[in-house]
Amino acid sequence: METDLSQARIGVAAKKKNAYLGKRILQHKQLYLMLLPCLVFFVIFSYIPMGGLILAFKNYQFNKGIIASPWVGLTYFKAFFSDYQSGKLIRNTLAISSIKVFLGLPFPILLALMFNEIRHRKFRGVMQSISYLPHFLSWVIVVGLMQRVLAPDTGLLNEAIRFFGGDGSTFFMMESKYFYSLMFGSHIWQSIGWDSIIYLAAMASINPELHEAAKMDGANKWHEIWHITLPGIRLTISILFILSLGSILQAGFDQIYLMRTPGNMELADILDTYIIRVGLQNGQYGYATAVGLMQSVIGLVLVVTANRASKKFFDESIW
């Protein structure tokens, strides 16, 4: 009797919750309509393709299709970790991703802080537009510019080196000792302006009365930034950092693939380029899917772990 009563209560509560949700959707239908294209995009390009992950456990054969192809279990995962290249691929991917995630984190925050302190609206708008523009350039264009600027003998940088008495024949794109610097510099140049938008929006939501009160107490600009602005955007920083950990094993295929040369291949050969090589070029679709699935699972585990740690130690989390 008590069980039936509790189930009835749960049913009533669920109906009330659904009714409340329906009322909220009707009340804010314009916002939900704006959200609809985003949901459709993720369903088509993110959720439906997940069905193809079954390839990671099958020996795919064209004449049988995905469903009828024979199962192979964890064979592809074992094959990858027993491959002599796996250690180098994981090491290179982690090195590049860590540089982008950890070293690259402060740059958009610093740029947003600088934009936030500019009081001349037109000048700030011009500077923001200039910083956003590289985001809309494909990596084909960016790496093409790098090759022209860094070309031996005729490149702008080598011309400058020769002007000041240097040799001027260094092939920067070919030497591995310059790879990390060029990779990180080009990544920051392309992404810093666009990434600063979210931090600027978070700063705009800080109550201006806090700054006025701080000035009345004798605080200088540095004190305002350290004690008001940065704590005000701490949640935004935490969320973006946690989300960025999901791509820790995805170092950016477009950029790295285009920057690879025979001279830096030992550092530039990563999991993303390896997946394309064995999957599309060699036709090992199941094996490539298994490596990609491993990337995604590890990224998911890192995001969940970082979110729990943030909630435990800082009382801030995504969910």
Residue 306 tokens read as: 């970082």
- pTM of the full structure: 0.84
Classified by CATH at the fold level, domain 58-313 comes out as MetI-like fold (1.10.3720)
Backbone angles phi, psi at 61, to 5 degrees: -130, 130
Angle at 239 between CA 201 and CA 227, to 5 degrees: 60
User: Which pLDDT does position 218 carry in this prediction?
Assistant: 84
The tokens describing 132, both together, are 């956003």
Provide the 3-class DSSP secondary structure of residue 67: helix
Asked whether the beta carbons of 101 and 217 are under 8 A apart, the reply is: no
Element (H, E) at 246: none
Q: What local confidence, expressed as pLDDT, does residue 15 receive?
A: 66
Dihedral through CA 203, CA 204, CA 206, CA 207, nearest 10? 150
What is the average pLDDT across 94-107? 92
Measured distance CA(236)–CA(219) in Å, rounded: 24
Q: Which residue has the higher pLDDT, 238 or 1?
A: 238
Give residue 207's pLDDT band: very low, low, confident or very high (50, 70, 90). confident
Domain edges within the chain: 1-47, 58-313
> Measured between alpha carbons, how far is 68 from 52 in angstroms, rounded to an integer?
13
Integer CA distances (angstroms), 3 to 8, 11, 118, 239, in order: 9, 12, 64, 41
Q: pLDDT tens digit string along 146-190?
A: 999 998 888 888 899 888 888 888 889 999 999 999 999 999 999
Listed in sequence order, the residues at least 6 apart from 53 whose beta carbon sits closer than 8 Å to its beta carbon are 289, 293
For residue 68, what pLDDT is reported?
87
Instruction: Fill in the DSSP letter of residue 164.
Output: T
